[in-house]
């Protein structure tokens, strides 16, 4: 019982004070943007996208010749890997992601309706960001038009879609939270 009370106190404290500690006001955001060379950042971003795409195309071309996997899904540990480029010696470089029971490890199930903390946190009116290995399949039935893909990933990713489902998936299918 002590653990539940302590957990609830910590959670409520973080929810109340955490937003004040880590958030920025609208005026602060404007000041930051005024001091940011947005056009230069966009130029760098455009260059990097072209470079990344070219490196990926070369890697896929070599993978087809060598018989390398381009996408690797491992259901045993929920890992996902994607060939992204070659190293300086021509060896494949993969981005890999892992999410083996992340929700349970973080104990997020205690926050939802019916959880041990007696809360009903569902994330209404929230904005969440995800940076992962590939694009989210934004047409997924759990997302209901709530995904905006900011960058231009080379492909969609099972793992990115899974993580997005963990963050914003609706309850309509498979009891997602």
Give tens-digit pLDDT for 103-132.
666 677 777 777 788 777 766 777 788 888
Rounded CA gap, 132 and 84, in Å?
Answer: 13
Higher pLDDT residue, 27 or 171?
27
Share of the chain above pLDDT 90, in %: 19
Same domain, 43 and 89: yes
147 in Cβ contact with 138 (< 8 Å): yes
Give the CA distances from residue 111 to residues 106, 120, 123, in Å, rounded to whole numbers and listed in that order.
Answer: 10, 6, 11
Nearest alpha-carbon partner for 167 in 134, 141, 143: 143
Rounded CA gap, 70 and 93, in Å?
Answer: 10
Sheet order of strands, 71-74 included:
71-74, 79-86, 92-97
80 in Cβ contact with 97 (< 8 Å): yes
Indicate the residue among 69, 98, 127 that finishes a domain. 98
DSSP H/E element including 164: helix 158-168
Q: Is 13 part of a structural domain of the chain? A: no
What is the number of domains present in the chain? 2
Region 144-169 average pLDDT: 79
Same domain, 83 and 129: no
Q: For position 157, what pLDDT does the model report? A: 78
Structural domain for 77, as ranges:
36-98
């Amino acid at each position: 019982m002590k653990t539940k009370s302590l957990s609830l106190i910590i959670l409520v404290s973080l929810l109340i004070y955490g937003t004040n500690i880590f958030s920025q006001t609208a005026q602060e955001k404007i000041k930051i943007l005024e001091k940011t060379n947005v056009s230069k950042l966009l130029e760098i971003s455009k260059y990097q996208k072209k470079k990344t795409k070219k490196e990926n195309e070369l890697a896929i071309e070599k993978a087809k010749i060598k018989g390398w996997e381009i996408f690797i899904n491992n259901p045993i540990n929920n890992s996902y890997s994607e060939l992204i480029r070659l190293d300086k010696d021509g060896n494949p470089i993969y981005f890999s992601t892992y999410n083996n029971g992340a929700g349970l490890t973080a104990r997020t199930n205690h926050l939802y309706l019916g959880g041990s903390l007696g809360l009903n946190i569902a994330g209404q009116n929230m904005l969440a960001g995800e940076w992962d290995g590939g694009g989210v399949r934004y047409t997924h039935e759990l997302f209901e038009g709530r995904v905006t893909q900011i960058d231009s990933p080379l492909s969609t990713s099972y793992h990115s879609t899974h993580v997005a489902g963990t963050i914003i998936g609706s309850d309509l299918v498979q009891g997602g939270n």
